[in-house]
Amino acid sequence: MRLLGRYQGRSGEIEIVECSWDGTRIYFEEGVRQSQATPDGESVFTYVKLMDELLHRSANILVLGCGGGNLATRLAHRGKTLTIVDNNPISFVIAHKFFGLPDDLNCMVSDFRRFIYQDDTLYDAIAIDIGGPGFQFNDEFDVETCEAIRARLAPGGRIVMNVLVMNDIDPLPDRIAARLAGDSLKVWVVDEQGIEDRNAIIACIPERQLNARPALADAMRNNYNEQWSIRRGRLRNRDLAYGSRNG
């Protein structure tokens, strides 16, 4: 691999390297692979393709989290209007320089929670892909934050989020999904059972059925070594309230 750049970000050192065998570029943060894509931003990660497909109905999208900008680049190429929020300004520089993020997008440097509480725009969809060294999903996406995120949705809007799951019994995706959905949205989880420390996609949508298009099935088969499946959320908002009263 060839080192293309080294930067100091807010969560630690960032390195961009290019793979000699296929030309893809990897965004490492504190040694953890956060993004991998071609120089024009085409991600090798299945979860990015799944998020893109789950957002196909939406035109005006708030993207929380940038990193290498692969999701935003893919959505921009589909003609979506985007607002991208990240608290690490160097991520925008890297995404433009190494991963083909278009120059004309609305990029906002802010903590995502501060932005959500201060913003008054309504969006067709909110895409969430936030993480990094030491990031605690359960703490960052507490009930109040998730309610504030949902309040930024226009009627008929949806939320699609990438989370990291430790194992098959990890309650995290269902807990955060119930917080994001509240009483108004239906929850689906696109997951890969049997894999430790994996990506899973939460989809909180207004429709009663996911109505998966063939393109979603194609995205799930992006890598033949992966076995993605779709399931309903296991918790509802009232389940969380019950649990809080009993322990």
First to last CA, the chain: 50
Question: What per-residue confidence (pLDDT) applies to 236?
Answer: 78
**Residue position matching structure tokens 């969560």:** 11
Q: Give Rg (Cα) of the chain.
A: 17
Nearest Cα neighbor of 189 from 35, 51, 74 is: 51
Would the pLDDT of 238 be above 70?
A: no
60: pLDDT strictly greater than 70: yes
Within 13 Å and on the Cβ side, how many CA atoms surround 109?
A: 8
Across the chain, where does the E strand assignment appear? 2-9, 12-18, 25-29, 32-37, 60-64, 81-86, 106-109, 123-128, 153-165, 186-191, 198-205, 229-232
Name the pLDDT band for 247 (thresholds 50, 70, 90): very low
**Nearest Cα residue to 129 out of 199, 181, 215, 43:** 199
pLDDT digit string (tens) for 174-197? 999 999 999 999 999 999 999 999
pTM score > 0.85 for this model? yes
Q: Is the pLDDT of residue 246 over 80?
A: no
Q: What is the pLDDT of residue 134?
A: 79
For residue 67, pLDDT beyond 80: yes
Tens digit of each residue's pLDDT (9 = 90 or more) over 138-176: 999 999 999 999 999 999 999 999 999 999 999 999 999
At residue 100, the pLDDT reads 95
pLDDT exceeds 80 at position 237:
no
Report the SS3 class of residue 157.
strand
Q: How many CA atoms lie within 13 A of 217 on its CB side?
A: 4
pLDDT at 241: 58
Q: Give 38-54 pLDDT, tens digit per residue.
A: 999 999 999 999 999 99
DSSP one-letter code for 43 = B
